[in-house]
Amino acid sequence: GESVGLHLPTLSVQEGDNSIINCAYSNSASDYFIWYKQESGKGPQFIIDIRSNMDKRQGQRVTVLLNKTVKHLSLQIAATQPGDSAVYFCAENSGFSGYNKLIFGAGTRLAVHP
Amino acid sequence: DSGVTQTPKHLITATGQRVTLRCSPRSGDLSVYWYQQSLDQGLQFLIQYYNGEERAKGNILERFSAQQFPDLHSELNLSSLELGDSALYFCASSPRTGPDSGNTIYFGEGSWLTVV
């Protein structure tokens, strides 16, 4: 299958460099955020999440930063590899307590060049 | 492999027809979510079920309906299909409902629907 979202912003990086993908979210009441990676023809794959009571969370080669003041989320990928090439989506949990209604951003395409 | 299974993977049908997409959640997950991904709309939340009951509704058209069965699998029914319904339809599942960092939502590989 083909990727969707042909008009996505694209971030081009060299292999080995660090990548920073940014996301602005819409709901100041959102309390949980997730980054997903979507490769061509596949479903979104969970990368890392963060709750609103934190401003930073680290995983393996990835770090998520949350700035609630300006409603901004970023994903940092260290030592970017060709396998990191994909579309990255941020998602916010937007809904009433007890509901899990993820609202996705438009996505950013990451292109890693050797 | 996320553990979420969707069938069929690809489907081509004519306008006006009706199709059913099927989803088996990850073992033990009680919540099922349906999302639509199209070129111009991105990933849109359609509906969520938890243990057989509807829990949240998003931008789901009246021509679309869903249900979750006692064995926790779910079906998304799309009727009176239009060209604009052509999209990738994703099912996702999680153990529980509600915002929780321990309640990760995992996605299936999607069902490609083409309406001609």
Residue B56: closest CA among chain A residues belongs to which residue?
A99
Asked if B48 has any chain A CB less than 8 Å from its own CB, the reply is: yes
Mutation to test the A interface, candidates B45, B49, B106, most A Cβ within 10 Å: B45
What would the two tokens of residue B90 be? 């994703």
- Which residues lie below 8 Å from residue A12, measured CB to CB, with a gap of 6+? A111, A112, A113
Q: Could you tell me the end-to-end alpha-carbon distance of chain A, in angstroms, rounded to an integer?
A: 25
Question: Which chain B residues are within 8 Å of A93, Cβ to Cβ?
Answer: 99
Split at pLDDT 50, 70, 90, the class of A7 is: low
Rounded Cα–Cα distance for residues A91 and A89 (Å) = 6
Compute the nearest-CA separation of A97 from chain B (Å): 6
Note whether B97 contacts A44, CB cutoff 8 Å. no
Residue found under tokens 């890392």: A48
> Per-residue pLDDT for A99 more than 70?
no
Q: How does pLDDT run across A8-55, given as a tens digit for each residue?
A: 899 999 999 999 999 998 888 888 899 999 998 899 999 999 998 999
Residue-wise pLDDT tens for chain B (116 aa)?
889 999 999 999 999 999 999 999 999 999 999 999 987 778 899 999 999 999 888 889 999 999 999 999 999 999 999 999 999 999 999 987 765 666 788 999 999 999 99
In the predicted model, what is the mean pLDDT of chain A? Answer: 88
Instruction: Write the DSSP assignment of A35-79 as a string of letters.
Output: EEEE-TTS--EEEEEEETT-SEEE-SSEEEEEETTTTEEEEEESS
The residues facing A45 across adjacent strands are A37
What HEC string does chain B produce? CCCCEEECCEEEECCCCCEEEEEECCCCCCEEEEEEEECCCEEEEEEEEECCEEEEECCCCCCEEEEECCCCCEEEEECCCCHHHCEEEEEEEECCCCCCCCCCCEECCCEEEEEC
- A100 DSSP 8-state letter: -
What pLDDT score does B104 carry?
Answer: 83
% of chain A residues with pLDDT over 90: 67
Rg (CA), chain B: 13
> Per-residue pLDDT for A96 more than 60?
no
Note whether A4 contacts B100, CB cutoff 8 Å. no
> Per-residue pLDDT for A1 more than 50?
no
Note whether B103 contacts A100, CB cutoff 8 Å. yes
Residue A100: closest CA among chain B residues belongs to which residue?
B98
Write the residue in B48, B90, B108 that is nearest to A100 by C-beta.
B48
Rounded Cα–Cα distance for residues A75 and A20 (Å) = 6
What pLDDT score does A41 carry?
Answer: 85
What pLDDT score does A2 carry?
Answer: 34
Rounded Cα–Cα distance for residues B86 and A56 (Å) = 38
Note whether B110 contacts A1, CB cutoff 8 Å. yes
Asked if B102 has any chain A CB less than 8 Å from its own CB, the reply is: no
Tally C-beta pairs within 8 A across A and B. Answer: 87
Q: What sign results for the dihedral spanned by CA atoms A27, A29, A86, B93?
A: negative
